Structure 1
Amino acid sequence: MRQEQQKTFISHDGCQLFYRYWPAIDNNCGKDRAIVIFHRGHEHSGRVAHLADELELPDYQIFAWDARGNGQSAGERGDAPNFATLIKDAHCFIQHIKQEYHFCDQDIAVIAQSVGAVIAAAWAHDYVPNIRALVLASPAFSVKLYVPFAVSGLKLLYNLKGNFFVNSYVKPKLLTHDASRAQSFTQDPLITRPISVRLLLDLYAVADRIVQDANAITVPTQLLVSGSDYVVRRKPQQQFYENLGTAQKELHILPGFYHDTLGEKDRHFAIDRARRFIVGCFANPINVPCLVNADLVGYTRQEADNLTMPPVGLIKPLYWKFIQTSLRYASKMSDGIKLGFDTGFDSGSTLDYVYQNQPSGSSKLGQFFDYIYLQSIGWRGIRQRKVHLEALLKQTILQLQQQNQSVNIVDIAAGHGRYIIETINQIAHKPNSVLLRDYCDINIRDGQALIQQQGLTDIVRFEKGDAFSRQELAQLSPQPNLAVVSGLYELFSDNQLLRESLSGLADVMSEGEYLIYTNQPWHPQLEFIARALTSHRDGQPWIMRRRTQLEMDQLVSEAGFQKITMSVDQWGIFTVSLAQRIKK
């Protein structure tokens, strides 16, 4: 029997989370390996503690957490600010394990069940860890609520009255045929039956995104699906499996199993498969696909190509014509929509307008149209990207200053430079120099006006420059030790442009200096943007090719930078990453 240790760690926002740790008892392989277990919704790590012995992997160290708001972890019972908070908690948990117990990503396998499986899958998608294996048992990609239009009704009530809680309808007898385990569920004082509607609705949204974009997950993945599951639907599980981007994947349907797959009466069938899969993945060499040419071949290339084709059928062309006409009509009254058509919806001017987030129009109706426009999911993601960017800027500037280094910043495609300028004005100890560059004369003009308005002409200057010219970037003066590329690479599909840009920054920067870069691995409105909005490039349709986070990180690594950390918004649309120049 393993000896359990009870521990805690501090997550990203100061929340203290509880976990259990079972050290290895027979390290025959001579290598440190770890299995991390994520429990089912409403439950806690004590409910999966039996797996520490039943996995029969004595040479593996095993960890299991209590998710925020569950078990012995802090947080309001059954609640969190959003589902992305739980995903980031999971990332912090893995980072804690790596630092505290001296593991690398490749030393870790994850076993997760139900809601925990959605957390684990989303973490693998968003943070692209290079772990060995992912075992997902009955992932709750779609919970059966049984009441007609239940999700729509909950959304309506949530919008009308704010957050509230609902109790789980699931009876223990619908979870497992194991009578003793069902009874223990009823008697367990740490079971959290209520769940907030905010979190439940967010679970649906995140699950939809992960199922649709599972191709971005390249970790070897095994699905264990209960054959008689009364809690979650099987179809999304099968769609997720079909969409998975790894060649090393398995789907096992376990006949007669209820939802608690790893706590069923005959759970040894599931556990045997999980054990064999994990051992096999550790026996195989690590195989991370190379995505630096995904602009030429791959599913995001195909997705972008499809958007260049006109809509087919009778209804779709008429629908998009109606949308285009409606937007043109709204642009006569809405200042933001008009600016988008005048300068491009992807222009620096539009971005600056979105940052300010002040609805404006020629009438009350125009202001209302502008408000709706500014509240679109993409623009909300842009503003959250700004928040993450400013936080990472402040953190990196402070770190350089604590190392007694002069801080010289360059933003190679700054737009109006608002996020840089506002960040500089918020910190007490200013950088030595800030160079803002852009190719657009309008951006340079308005950026220079903003610099003067903010009283920063002594340290901030704006110049015209090509962000894709390796030669120009390699000759930047003063030499930057903090480079920023925000919102640029997302607009260009061609990876060769990024190679030139990143190589120029690598040429001018020394070992240990920092790069902040953004990415857009996901967007729920790609077709709307392609069919209805225009680009700054000659008013052409704004067609974007998404880059998975792995593709973007590999391009950065190829240029000579090592990623350190990353933030992602709650919708999974935009990421902001920090990397460091490694030895030339």
Structure 2
Amino acid sequence: MSLGEMEMDQLTSGASNRIIPIFKTLRASLIFVYSLFISLLLVILPRRRRISSSNAVAAPPSSPRKHLKRRSVWLIREDEDTLRRRALAEGLEMGNEDSCCRWSTSLFFGVRRNALFIRSWFPVSGDLKGILIIIHGLNEHSGRYAQFAKQLTSYNFGVYAMDWIGHGGSDGLHGYVPSLDHVVADTGAFLEKIKLENPGIPCFLFGHSTGGAVVLKAASLPYIERMLEGIVLTSPALRVKPAHPIVGAVAPFFSLVAPRFQFKGANKRGIPVSRDPAALLAKYSDPLVYTGPIRVRTGHEILRISSYLMRNFKSVTVPFFVLHGTADKVTDPLASQDLYNEAASQFKDIKLYDGFLHDLLFEPEREQVARDIIYWMEKRLASNMGQVNILW
């Protein structure tokens, strides 16, 4: 086995690939489950007071100071981690500013007032054709898409990219997503802000993997769809299933009683996400990429949004372009085909890349994938121009 093959075998990731081993470890965690169940019963069931025959002695209440101290220590650690990641995000080189492209970073406060880290790239000259807003995948961050963004600016597209909560330079515990619906709402709020700041400029949403699921759900909301010219989905997480049906029953319980809990066996060897060994090494040596075991709530949220989308393919009406590698073992390319077949959208396209893996924009053919996306957006804009001409 070559060194490159060894690296690709060890450096792996992916939403569904990590969810499955999480719940396999439940077989060896029955004592933990039982303990949680008993603890929950003790909290829910009313406590009986023990009164002696002579005097009623009330147990002293637990000190609220101890509880607050424990909580404050946890919050301090989370804030310190956020500041550390934000400093790394600010210091990340996004390419030299030249006569063709300028880039910047900023903070956007989401619907729950969380500070979300934002990057932007814009062409220096020429008329702006449109704006693409990038929503990254699980455990990664917006800075990974700098090369794609610069390619877009060379075609006179502006680019914004937003780190979700718990990712990149944004607020939150690293790798922890309390609700993907919050990410959907933040995406809509950020799109609205961009539309206000760029009146008359067509906007597209781009989502990769779990980010693709977020974008598709966001675009299913009428007020968000009205602001969009279309969406682009690469390797979307549309059919993520647990290893066993019982997982669907226990996942909601675990996500409530131990949402931040990490299964230590959930981040071992798995499935490569790119055929480029250098791209894999760069991804998993990046300190802003979360490589720890997936957290229980995060896994449950992926299962939940995937299940919702699968039930609602027929109600999709937004113009879209879905791209998927046929050799992807992290998310299901057949689910992308089902989306294309079942969606009610009048303007829709699909491209399946033979033999490609999960991270399409980090495959050896990444520039061609990017050009396919750019050409689709140009085709979409041209179709709208044709509609305007017919109306006039």
Q: Indicate the TM-score class for this superposition, using the shorter chain for normalisation.
A: 0.5 to 0.7
Aligned position for 2:88: none
After TM superposition, give the deviation of residue 161 of structure 1 in Å: 4.2
> Counterparts of 1:259 and 1:144 in 2: how far apart (Å)?
17
Which amino acid in the other structure matches residue 225 of structure 2? V
Q: Distance in 2 between matches of 1:231 and 1:34?
A: 29
Moved more, 202-211 or 243-252: 202-211
Q: Secondary structure at the match of 1:142?
A: coil
1:231 corresponds in structure 2 to 330
- SS of residue in 1 equivalent to 2:239: coil
Answer yes or no: is the 8 Å Cα contact 1:211–1:239 preserved in 2: no
1:20 maps onto 2:119 in alignment: yes
Measure the CA separation in 1 of the matches of 2:168 and 2:117: 8
SS of alignment partner, residue 5 of structure 1: strand
Structure-2 change in CA distance of 1:278 and 1:254 (3 Å):
same
Q: Deviations over 1:162-188 (max 9, x none)?
A: 322347647697011122211111211
Partner of 2:203: 108
1:227/1:198 CA distance change after superposition, 3 Å: same
Q: How many residues align?
A: 283
Quick check: 1:33–1:103 contact (8 Å CA) kept in 2?
no
Q: Is 1:96 the counterpart of 2:193 in the alignment?
A: yes
Q: Which residue in 2 is equivalent to 1:182?
A: 280
State the 1:81 CA deviation.
2.8
| 2:123 aligned counterpart, secondary structure | coil
Q: Among 203, 213, 217, which residue is 2:316 paired with?
A: 217
Given that 2:317 and 2:344 are in contact with CA atoms closer than 8 Å, whether structure 1 keeps it comes out as yes
Deviations 1:71-111 (A, max 9, x none): 00001222233111110011111122223x3235x610122
Deviation, structure 1 residue 211:
2.8
1:274 Cα offset (Å): 0.8
Q: Which residue of 196, 206, 212 corresponds with 1:117?
A: 212
Deviations 1:484-505 (A, max 9, x none): xxxxxxxxxxxxxxxxxxxxxx
Residues 172, 21 of structure 1: alpha-carbon distance in 2 compared, 3 angstrom cutoff: farther
- Compute the RMSD of aligned alpha carbons: 2.6
**For residues 400-411 of structure 1, what are the structure 2 equivalents within 5 Å?**
none
- Which amino acid in the other structure matches residue 284 of structure 2? T
How far apart, in 2, do the equivalents of 1:63 and 1:182 lie? Answer: 24
Alpha-carbon offset, residue 56 of structure 1: 5.7
Please list the CA deviations of residues 296-338 of structure 1 after superposition, one character each: whole Å capped at 9, or x if unmatched: xxxxxxxxxxxxxxxxxxxxxxxxxxxxxxxxxxxxxxxxxxx
Structure 2, unpaired ranges of 5+: 1-97, 388-392
Partner of 1:60: 157
Question: Would you say the 8 A contact 2:103–2:121 is kept in 1?
Answer: yes
Shift of 1:59: 1.5
CA deviations on 1:334-357 (whole Å, 9 max, x unpaired) are xxxxxxxxxxxxxxxxxxxxxxxx
Residue 24 of structure 1 contacts residue 62 of structure 1 at CA under 8 Å; is this kept in 2?
Answer: no
1:212–1:240 Cα contact (<8 Å) kept: no
Corresponding residue for residue 289 of structure 2:
191
Alignment of 1:228-307 (within 5 A): 228-285=327-384
Indicate the residue corresponding to 1:43 in structure 2.
140
Give the whole-Å Cα distance in 2 for the aligned partners of 1:118 and 1:33: 22
Deviation at 1:159, TM superposition (A): 6.5
- The answer to whether the Cα contact below 8 Å between 1:117 and 1:137 also exists between their aligned partners in 2 is yes
**2:273, 2:245 → 1: CA distance?**
24
1:9 aligns with 2:105: no
- Residues 61-460 of structure 1: pairs in structure 2 closer than 5 A: 61-99=158-196, 101-104=197-200, 107-126=202-221, 127-143=224-240, 147-149=243-245, 151-152=247-248, 155=251, 158=254, 161-163=257-259, 164-166=261-263, 169=267, 174-193=272-291, 194-285=293-384
Whole-angstrom distance in 1 between the partners of 2:211 and 2:256: 29
8 A contact 1:11–1:93 mirrored in 2: yes
Greater RCO, 1 or 2 (C-alpha within 8 Å, sep 6+): 2
Q: CA deviation at 1:287?
A: 9.8
TM-score (norm 1): 0.45
Deviations 1:370-423 (A, max 9, x none): xxxxxxxxxxxxxxxxxxxxxxxxxxxxxxxxxxxxxxxxxxxxxxxxxxxxxx
Contact in 1 for aligned 2:122/2:159 (Cα 8 Å)? yes
Inter-CA distance 153–248: structure 2 relative to 1 (3 Å threshold): same
1:160 Cα offset (Å)? 8.2
- Give the equivalent residue in structure 2 for 1:484: none
**Do the aligned partners of 1:172 and 1:182 also contact (CA within 8 Å) in 2?**
no
Deviation at 1:112, TM superposition (A): 1.4
How far residue 58 of structure 1 moved from its aligned partner, in angstroms, is 3.6
Give, in angstroms, the shift of residue 150 of structure 1.
7.4
**CA shift in 2, pair 1:256/1:52, >3 Å:** same
- Helix, strand or coil for the counterpart of 1:95? helix
Give the Cα separation in 2 of the matches to 1:253 and 1:63: 26
Measured at CA, do residues 50 and 171 of structure 1 come closer, stay the same or move farther in structure 2, by a change above 3 Å? farther
Unaligned runs of 5+ in 1: 289-584
Deviations 1:20-63 (A, max 9, x none): 11122332xx3562111111110000111110123364411111
